[in-house]
Structure 1
Amino acid sequence: MLRNARRGIVVAACLALIATSAACSDDAPSTGGGGTAAAVPGVTDTEITLGTHMPLTGPAAAGYSKIAPASKAFFDYVNANGGVNGRKIKYLIEDDGYNPANTQTVVRKLVLEDKVFAILNGLGTPTHTGVLDFLKTQKVPDLFVASGSRSWNQPEKYPTTFGYQPDYTVEGKIIADYVKKNFPGKVVCHMGQDDDFGRDSLAGVEQVLGADGVKSKQKYVTSNTNITPQIQAFKAAGCQVVISATIPAFTALSLGTAAKLGGFRPQWIPSSVGADYTTLAGLLGDGKVLLEGLIAPGYLPVSTDAANPWIQLFQKVNKEYNGNAPFDGNVVFGMNVAYLTVQSLLKAGKDLTRESLIAAVESGGFKNAAVGPYRYSKTDHSGIGGMQMGKVTAGVQAAFGPVVQTDDAAGPVTEYTEAAAPPPANGIPTA
């Protein structure tokens, strides 16, 4: 944990410098399931206990540390309005520092000591991968993982695990389709985190552009904040468009490092994972000018879209139950995950069991702030399947163009035409 905290300090120090220059084994299974609340871990007649692992410290804390508090705020809002079938939601948040070893420790604590009903929205590809088998053995619902790895969509192997956001291959295809149509003939390159995040993203990009359509392919690890060699390789290759699978700190580092290398300014198109303007502007400080023209896809309404009814709802909840925290895409993410969770719990019924919750998510049909469709079924645990491009103009990040959808196989990228559903008048989900 301490080592990751130090890495976070190093990242912050690097960004400060950039901003200045830019301004110029398995345990026995639990007995989950069963007819009465008393027999179901984490469920009583008055309470439902959920737990999560999040990077409240460490290299991924920038932005992401705001997600779980936002989810808790929405749960508190629901609790204040009667809860879920008379039960209030208790949300336990454990800091893993984006360190896989820590993740295993805190998840085992949540399951074996705290007896949570489900794990919700655990964040990170390298972190959450290490607890899949444990959660499967314990038969714990593993809902809405905060990562786009395709690993979460293996219902035969991991029947209790569900993704949430568009997987990285879907996102890679959508970005590459946009690049193919809007930057024909440009030299395209790719920067990826050295795990499933980067690999799945590149796989999607290459499905559309071909392996030869990506001239330079670079990787980074979160433990090393010196990415100058990768950016120098992009400059030497003449990259004009750089698609990146980067967390916020490394999106900011990429832009800042490029600016220091003789004004190297390709068109950056980062993954939605590392593209929230408010987070990036905070990291870059005076160097936020580098964000002008940034293009990235999104699957939720932009946090600055004050006319969007979902943003209005989440801003209200943020003000009343989240200490009026700086409102950004991470807050929107956390609140929509909580909204989806309440929808799922309601659909699971009053006689709440782990099995009924899994069946409820697999039944699909969810409508909330997501711009694209949820793909949940018995054979698909992947989550949202559509996205919309966005661009930073004059310091404002706004969506543009159609919502498009695809799969992580050979399917085409097509327009999604179904209109978004507004929230209920009181903002409380219904069954």
Structure 2
Amino acid sequence: MLRPIRTLAVAAAALALVSACNSASTNGNDSGRAGEKPGNRRGLTADSVKVGGIVSMTSASGYSKKDTDLGARARYLRANAEGGVNGRRIDYLGAQDDGQDPAKNMAAARKLVQQDKVFAVAPMSSVTFSGADFLEQEKVPTFGWGTLPSFCGPKHIYGFNGCLVPTPGGTLNQTWPEGIAAVLGGARGKSVAVIANDSDAGKFGIRTFRQGFAGAGFTVSYAKASVPATAVPSDWSAYVKEILESNGGKAPDAVVSVMQTPNNIGLFTALKRSGYKGLLSDPTDYDPGLLAKDATRQALDGVYVLLQFEPFESDSPTMAQFKADIRAAAGGQDVPLSMHMMTGYMAADLFVSIARKAGTDMTVESFQEAAQSFSDTGTLVGDRAEPKGQKDSFGCGALVRLRNGTYEVAVPFKCYEPVPFT
């Protein structure tokens, strides 16, 4: 059963769309075949497949995932150079900007399906995914970073590295806890504080990481989704005080932030000024572009960043291919690499890989059938398999550390055994 979107206004809008969208689904590029379900060939012609994206290009905090679009373009550019998807050219329309706004996310999903009539949405990268129920209802294969509950369960929605916020009965990716344990010389006797934004994504993050760190052997001394999601606090003193007294009146051994860059800069700066000497970590700030400003570089110096893909410092053939594809999409220019490029690239890569398996006479149904038995190995996110990835993560990752203006691999890319989520 689909998990409902937790905003009543959005849920009402989704319900209101059902009847209108059902009729829109029949307006595909093909007239269809006898007995075929309406919308099964939407976005398909004999020589093309239409794909769009939804990305938070802008946000109220100034945080941007715009590089996600370039990453997707890079992968589609190479796919088309290789002959497309079984002879069909990928017609990538680019990404709609949802501004991290639930209403805009829904509007973007509706536009892509009803007006642009896309076959698939890849990438979808935002902290909000209010369009998830609508896209699932319309049977639109959708690919993105599985950091939201909607990537865990729906039949047509796929996380490029699996489901990262599972329901009970699924499993937890242990890359972060195990990586930090490796840096600290083990988890036994060590404490960790986890902080997130006061949002659905933040609350799910707290729930999963609390269990994951405890499962690795840490004492979780603090775990709150308490930071406003709509604006970066100007005063972090109250949060810092709580964190530094959380371990029986003492500071924890590690502080883990499940937030975006502007919040991380504020929190980490405040912790350092307080004299905190423990480990700092987040899953966001692997971006050479952040190093251009002295204040940002200083705030993030020493921070361990979680990656769920091979570090850019890797010399593997797959990483070399990624870099070459990004360079080609950027017009032959060397551009600073970012994790958002990787999320767009791998979302597109998973779509392309399944679509090629679906064969020349691809429909939504044949695409879904191909996904049910899909697997491959040795990708930039490790070994992949569906439908496993709609319930579990692929379990791989690394930690990098920013030191003196340079990222260094602190814990190499590795796959860890996931643990049950209860």
TM bracket, shorter-chain basis: 0.7 to 0.9
Q: Which amino acid aligns with 2:408?
A: Q
Q: Which residue in 2 is equivalent to 1:188?
A: 192
SS for the counterpart of 2:383 is coil
* Cα distance in 1 between the residues matched to 2:389 and 2:258: 27
Shift of 1:210: 4.2
Equivalent pair of 2:68/2:125 in contact (CA under 8 Å): no
> After the TM superposition, which residues 279-358 of structure 1 pair with which residues of structure 2 at under 5 Å, given as runs?
279-282=289-292, 285-305=294-314, 307-323=315-331, 324=333, 325-358=335-368
Q: Which residue in 2 is equivalent to 1:68?
A: 69
Equivalent pair of 1:256/1:287 in contact (CA under 8 Å): no
| 1:206 and 2:213 are equivalent in the alignment | no
| 1:373 and 2:383 are equivalent in the alignment | yes
| Inter-CA distance 160–291: structure 2 relative to 1 (3 Å threshold) | same
Q: TM-score, normalised by structure 1?
A: 0.77
* Cα distance in 2 between the residues matched to 1:299 and 1:383: 10
Higher mean C-alpha deviation, range 101-110 or range 34-43: 34-43
Q: Which residue in 1 is equivalent to 2:113?
A: 111
Shift of 1:355: 1.2
Task: Say which of 258, 263, 284 aligns to 1:245.
Answer: 258
Shift of 1:45: 1.3
Aligned CA-pair RMSD: 3.0
Q: Which residue in 2 is equivalent to 1:21?
A: none
* Cα distance in 1 between the residues matched to 2:62 and 2:365: 33
* Cα distance in 1 between the residues matched to 2:152 and 2:207: 16
Deviations along 1:347-369, whole A, 9 cap, x unmatched? 11110101111222221212353
Q: Which amino acid aligns with 1:396?
A: Y
* Cα distance in 2 between the residues matched to 1:270 and 1:136: 31
Equivalent pair of 2:173/2:419 in contact (CA under 8 Å): no
Q: Which residue in 2 is equivalent to 1:163?
A: 159
Q: Which residue in 2 is equivalent to 1:405?
A: 416
Q: Which residue in 1 is equivalent to 2:6?
A: none
SS for the counterpart of 2:49 is strand
SS for the counterpart of 1:355 is helix
Higher mean C-alpha deviation, range 175-184 or range 97-106: 175-184
Between structures 1 and 2, the one with greater strand share: 2
Q: Which residue in 2 is equivalent to 1:83?
A: 84
SS for the counterpart of 1:396 is strand
* Cα distance in 1 between the residues matched to 2:290 and 2:389: 37
Shift of 1:74: 2.1
SS for the counterpart of 1:198 is helix
Equivalent pair of 2:58/2:65 in contact (CA under 8 Å): no
Deviations along 1:199-232, whole A, 9 cap, x unmatched? 3333333325549922223322331200613233
* Cα distance in 1 between the residues matched to 2:134 and 2:348: 24
Task: Say which of 222, 245, 248 aligns to 2:229.
Answer: 222
Between structures 1 and 2, the one with greater helix share: 1
| Inter-CA distance 28–341: structure 2 relative to 1 (3 Å threshold) | closer
Shift of 1:56: 1.0
* Cα distance in 1 between the residues matched to 2:410 and 2:375: 24
| Inter-CA distance 146–205: structure 2 relative to 1 (3 Å threshold) | closer
Equivalent pair of 1:50/1:117 in contact (CA under 8 Å): yes
- Structure 2 unaligned regions, length at least 5: 1-15
Q: Which residue in 1 is equivalent to 2:270?
A: 257
Aligned residue pair count: 376
SS for the counterpart of 1:205 is helix
Q: TM-score, normalised by structure 2?
A: 0.79
> After the TM superposition, which residues 120-131 of structure 1 pair with which residues of structure 2 at under 5 Å, given as runs?
120-125=122-127, 127-128=128-129, 130-131=130-131
Q: Which amino acid aligns with 2:264?
A: T
Q: Which amino acid aligns with 1:214?
A: V
Equivalent pair of 1:148/1:164 in contact (CA under 8 Å): no
Equivalent pair of 2:84/2:90 in contact (CA under 8 Å): yes
Q: Which residue in 1 is equivalent to 2:10?
A: none
SS for the counterpart of 1:201 is helix
| Inter-CA distance 378–286: structure 2 relative to 1 (3 Å threshold) | closer
| Inter-CA distance 293–338: structure 2 relative to 1 (3 Å threshold) | same
* Cα distance in 1 between the residues matched to 2:79 and 2:61: 29
Shift of 1:101: 0.7
Shift of 1:60: 7.0
Q: Which residue in 1 is equivalent to 2:280?
A: 268
Q: Which amino acid aligns with 1:315?
A: K
Q: Which amino acid aligns with 2:148?
A: S
| 1:361 and 2:371 are equivalent in the alignment | yes
- Structure 1 unaligned regions, length at least 5: 1-24, 412-431
| Inter-CA distance 257–171: structure 2 relative to 1 (3 Å threshold) | farther
Deviations along 1:259-286, whole A, 9 cap, x unmatched? 3x43334311213xx131425434x534
